[in-house]
Amino acid sequence: MPNRKHVFTRTLMISTAAMLIGVSAFSAQAETRVTYKSASAGTAYYQMGVELSEAIRRGTDGDIVLTLEESQGSVQNVMEVMARQGNYVFTTPPGLVDQAMAGEGPFAERQSPRFQEIRGLFPIPAITMHFVAAGDEGVIGLEDLEGKHVLIGRGTFGAREAERYLELFDMLDKVRVANAEIGSGPDALKNGQIDAFVTASSYPTPNVIETAASMPVSLVSLSDEQIEQTGAARQTIPAGTYAGVDQDVHTTSLPVIAYTTTGMDDETAYTLTKTFWERRDAMAEETAWWGSITHDMIGNIAGTLHPGAVRYYDEAGIEIPDELR
């Protein structure tokens, strides 16, 4: 006959193990996983994704986990709405959402009813145009790029915008455009293979910080008239943002928004939005670009907000345009 003490001990161990398995299963079930489609590794927007992922983890005590995915650009991020299910968050300028919903631009040949399911959450730092040239002048004019070998990249917003500006100001035939990806810009500038590169990212952007720390660089500052001609939003990069650039740099920027789809449930959208705004100041203490985010920037969102995000804004007393509801 088995010893009662042994039977009790064994029963207790089995019960405890079962309880632990149950707790683990419950924890795994309670954890909400969100895919966050960002940008190319090494860019400021990818770094923002890393920072936002950590902020959400801390702000929700690990209840929401953002899995960061690299991307080749905003068009790809929007295109993937066609195939993605559930908790998909992606970043893009609002103009691309307008184009996707209207079946225009890069979406003209690839239209989908899924694009109508896109919903806004919150703004993130704007894309800022940087024209970075070798030299210790600090600040130069666009005309100073004449005769230079310039890398603008290809297929990205920054590349398209740089080409538009060069054409707009009759500079396209006065520079030699390098045939290379923008990621190779900093190394190519350091090695003397090019004279300048263009990058579009929030300031301070890591690839410009790194380049300015290792060699003298200058940034192109546009005149008021030039900024007006571009039709883009004015952006000032404060003096001292980059080593050796001791004057304000006047350039342009484009709003960027974190979007999801109606596939995300209201509670998750509410918690993501709430946590973002509650952690914004803490993120800004770690990295300056988060400090540029204001409630006014919600008005830049194209389409409509996710109902979960609307709930948070209403609860927090944050005014949002009626057309976003």
Q: Is 275 exposed, middle or buried (0-12, 13-18, 19+ CB in 10 A)?
A: buried
pLDDT band at 204 (very low <50, low <70, confident <90, very high): confident
pTM: 0.72
Alpha helices in 60-196 (DSSP H): 74-79, 94-102, 157-168, 185-190
Write out pLDDT tens, residues 293-310. Answer: 889 899 999 999 999 999
Decide: 251 and 235 in contact? Cβ < 8 Å. Answer: yes
∠280-282-284 over CA atoms, to 5°?
70
The encoded tokens of residue 268 equal 């998750």
Write out pLDDT tens, residues 137-193. Answer: 999 999 999 999 999 988 788 899 999 999 999 999 999 999 888 788 999 999 999
What pLDDT was estimated at residue 30?
A: 67
Write out pLDDT tens, residues 53-107. Answer: 999 999 999 999 999 999 988 899 999 999 998 899 999 999 999 999 999 999 9
Between 22-26, 232-236, 302-306, the lowest mean confidence (pLDDT) is in 22-26
- Side-chain half-sphere of 306: how many Cα atoms within 13 Å? 30
Residue type, 29: Q
Q: Which of 217, 204, 225, 276 is nearest to 244 (CA)?
A: 217
What pLDDT was estimated at residue 20?
A: 44
- In angstroms, the CA 101 to CA 52 distance is 27
Q: What average pLDDT score do residues 189-217 get? A: 93
Decide: 209 and 51 in contact? Cβ < 8 Å. Answer: no
Residues in the chain: 325
Q: What average pLDDT score do residues 203-218 get? A: 92
What pLDDT was estimated at residue 269?
A: 98
Query: Which residues, in sequence order, are CB contacts of 12 under 8 Å at separation 6+?
Result: none
- In angstroms, the CA 157 to CA 166 distance is 14
Per-residue pLDDT for 5 more than 80? no
What pLDDT was estimated at residue 217?
A: 98
Alpha helices in the chain (DSSP H): 4-30, 44-59, 74-79, 94-102, 157-168, 185-190, 206-214, 224-230, 266-286, 307-316
The encoded tokens of residue 36 equal 């966050």
